[in-house]
């Protein structure tokens, strides 16, 4: 079967395909294809790609979501920023090169948005995430955390398909052990389970501490959403079996990943070229995804989907147990703990640590108001958004482009003249007037649409805008 898919992919210059299946209850690898097209005569054909370190793309994002939930850094649907940002020279982009302003964390994971993931990793901490991945059994992240930085969540590090699939499988095992009691008896490392004939594959995986089952449940739920308009219309694929799955595409379209879990199985697929060349259109969803579902459809059906974590499963756990789940009042718009100004709230099961998370900062005087830059990108996707009805002096104005700290190179026309760059700002009030100052020198005025074309000289600059009320925003940037 992988042979047939491999033939299809070869027509599109995708030479190599690796896949493996893990039985989640035992942690055993039950099928392993190091390279589906190993017989073909060409470079890389004999490489066991399932055990080869490859750029991870987005395939590690679920671990960050689960960990941030578990620690109460976010709740399941906390709004994460999706705006242009420059973090020490690192300016992440989404796959579709768009910004959405603010996106609920679960949706950001399901749609695999890069910018919210980078914001989340910054909040969670690169060093802590790096340690978590190592603990989860990824042996390839041997450099220190600073080497990868925030790109760790976007494929800045390498991983092996067999280890990553085993880490996904371990999440399921943890979940089932806490929610049903099954799985615990056959946890990884159980004697007699080692399968030495499988190259490079460990049996099960090292158990990464104890996961909060509520955090894992939301992770599986988010990954169940087949909502990836940026990559492929999944409604075109027939008989898609229910799975919690994630795709990954590395920089330059060199690696396409898909890893999926059901209560019984974890399936990992990698496609690409072992020799390394990129293939336009090679994405996890388009090339690895169909193989993942082919394999899932061959496996015996699960009896049930993941059991709902309910609330009783940790009833006997001590109050400070991090596995505890609690019910909390959550603001439906921000996804954060409901504050006194939130007009509505809903009761949501969250990991216990979530009680310490931040309350909704966006509801004030009955209005739901995002900071200006978030608002600017959010509004076009949310026609129901009203914003501030009264003048709101706090953070009334923000820059949209460029992000502070950016280095710009100004485009030149054919005759050598510098074209300049359009700077953009946003104000809460639609009729606000802004006065613009470049390095303390007045350069222009805007109303309604706050954009101004400037061609500053090479060097460091500060751009400031001021409104009628004296609210200001500033950015520093460099022109090369």
Stretch of 171-179, 193-201, 354-362, 378-386 lying at the interface with Zn ion (CB under 5 A): 354-362
Residue 180 or residue 329: which is nearer to Zn ion going by CB?
Answer: 329
For the chain, give the number of residues: 480
- Asked if 331 is part of the footprint of Zn ion (rule: CB under 5 A), the reply reads yes
Residue 26 or residue 334: which is nearer to Zn ion going by CB?
Answer: 334
- Asked if 363 is part of the footprint of Zn ion (rule: CB under 5 A), the reply reads yes
- Asked if 473 is part of the footprint of Zn ion (rule: CB under 5 A), the reply reads no
- Asked if 342 is part of the footprint of Zn ion (rule: CB under 5 A), the reply reads yes
- Asked if 295 is part of the footprint of Zn ion (rule: CB under 5 A), the reply reads no
Number of chain positions touching Zn ion (CB under 5 A) = 5
Smallest gap from Cβ 219 to Zn ion, in A, equals 24
Q: SS3 for 290?
A: helix
Any idea what the Cα angle at residue 131 is, between residues 129 and 136, rounded to 5°? 95
For 87-118, give the DSSP string.
BTTB----TTS---EEEEHHHHHHTT-HHHHH
Query: Which residues in the 8-47 window bind Zn ion by CB under 5 A?
Result: none
Smallest gap from Cβ 349 to Zn ion, in A, equals 19
Non-local (6+) Cβ contacts of 126 within 8 A are 145, 146, 148, 149, 150, 152
Stretch of 49-57, 169-177, 261-269, 356-364 lying at the interface with Zn ion (CB under 5 A): 356-364
- In this chain, which of 360, 370, 397, 432 binds Zn ion, going by CB under 5 A? 360
Smallest gap from Cβ 78 to Zn ion, in A, equals 11
- CB of 75 closer than 8 Å to CB of 331: no
> Of the candidates 156, 147, 136, 131, which has an alpha carbon nearest to the alpha carbon of residue 58?
156
- Report the C-alpha gap between 408 and 421 in whole angstroms: 9
Q: Based on the number of CB atoms within 10 Å of its own CB, is 140 exposed (0-12), middle (13-18) or buried (19 or more)?
A: middle
Smallest gap from Cβ 77 to Zn ion, in A, equals 12
- Asked if 334 is part of the footprint of Zn ion (rule: CB under 5 A), the reply reads yes
- Asked if 348 is part of the footprint of Zn ion (rule: CB under 5 A), the reply reads no
Residue 323 or residue 363: which is nearer to Zn ion going by CB?
Answer: 363
Query: Which residues in the 189-218 window bind Zn ion by CB under 5 A?
Result: none
Smallest gap from Cβ 369 to Zn ion, in A, equals 10
Q: What are phi and psi of 304, to 5 degrees?
A: -135, 160
Any idea what the Cα angle at residue 421 is, between residues 416 and 425, rounded to 5°? 170
Q: Based on the number of CB atoms within 10 Å of its own CB, is 233 exposed (0-12), middle (13-18) or buried (19 or more)?
A: exposed
Residue 269 or residue 331: which is nearer to Zn ion going by CB?
Answer: 331
Residue 9 or residue 331: which is nearer to Zn ion going by CB?
Answer: 331
* Token representation of residue 240: 């898609």
Query: Which residues contribute to the site for Zn ion (CB under 5 A)?
Result: 331, 334, 342, 360, 363
């Amino acid at each position: 079967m992988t042979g047939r898919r491999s033939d299809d992919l070869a027509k599109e210059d995708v030479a190599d395909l690796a896949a493996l299946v893990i039985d989640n209850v035992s942690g055993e690898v039950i099928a392993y294809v190091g390279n589906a097209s190993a017989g073909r005569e060409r470079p890389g054909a004999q490489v066991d790609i399932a055990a080869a370190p490859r750029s991870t793309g987005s395939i590690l994002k679920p671990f960050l979501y689960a960990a941030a939930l578990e620690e109460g850094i976010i709740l399941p649907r906390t709004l994460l920023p999706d705006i242009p940002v420059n973090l020490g020279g690192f300016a992440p982009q989404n796959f579709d090169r768009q910004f959405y302003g603010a996106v609920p964390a679960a949706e950001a994971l399901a749609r695999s948005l890069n910018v919210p993931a980078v914001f989340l990793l910054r909040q969670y901490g690169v060093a802590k995430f790096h340690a978590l991945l190592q603990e989860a059994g990824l042996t390839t992240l041997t450099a220190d955390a600073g080497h990868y930085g925030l790109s760790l969540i976007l494929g800045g590090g390498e991983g092996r398909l067999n280890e990553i699939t085993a880490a996904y499988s371990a999440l399921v095992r943890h979940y089932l052990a806490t929610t049903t009691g099954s799985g615990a008896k056959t946890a990884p490392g159980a004697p007699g389970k080692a399968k030495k004939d499988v190259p490079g594959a460990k049996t099960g995986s090292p158990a990464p501490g104890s996961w909060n089952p509520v955090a894992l449940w939301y992770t599986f739920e988010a990954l169940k959403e087949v909502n990836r308009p940026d990559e492929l219309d999944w409604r075109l694929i027939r008989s898609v079996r229910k799975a919690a799955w994630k795709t990954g595409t590395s920089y330059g379209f060199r690696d396409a990943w898909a890893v999926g879990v059901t209560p019984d199985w974890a399936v990992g697929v990698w496609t690409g070229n072992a020799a390394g060349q990129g293939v336009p259109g090679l994405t996890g969803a388009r090339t690895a995804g169909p193989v993942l579902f082919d394999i899932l459809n061959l496996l015996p059906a699960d009896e049930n989907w993941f059991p709902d974590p309910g609330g009783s499963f940790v009833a006997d756990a001590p109050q400070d147990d991090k596995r505890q789940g609690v019910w909390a009042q959550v603001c439906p718009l921000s996804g954060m703990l409901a504050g006194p100004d939130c007009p509505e709230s809903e009761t949501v099961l969250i990991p216990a640590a979530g009680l310490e998370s931040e309350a909704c900062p966006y509801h004030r005087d009955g209005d739901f108001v995002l900071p200006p830059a978030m608002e600017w990108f959010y509004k076009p996707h949310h026609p129901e958004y009203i914003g501030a009805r009264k003048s709101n002096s706090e953070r009334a104005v923000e820059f949209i482009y460029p992000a502070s700290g950016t280095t710009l190179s100004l485009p030149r026309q054919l005759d050598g003249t510098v074209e300049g760059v359009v700077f953009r700002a946003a104000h809460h009030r639609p009729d606000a007037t802004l006065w613009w100052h470049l390095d303390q020198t007045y350069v222009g005025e805007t109303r309604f649409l706050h954009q101004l074309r400037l061609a500053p000289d090479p060097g460091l600059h500060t751009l400031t805008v001021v409104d009628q009320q004296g609210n200001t925003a500033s950015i520093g940037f460099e022109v090369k």
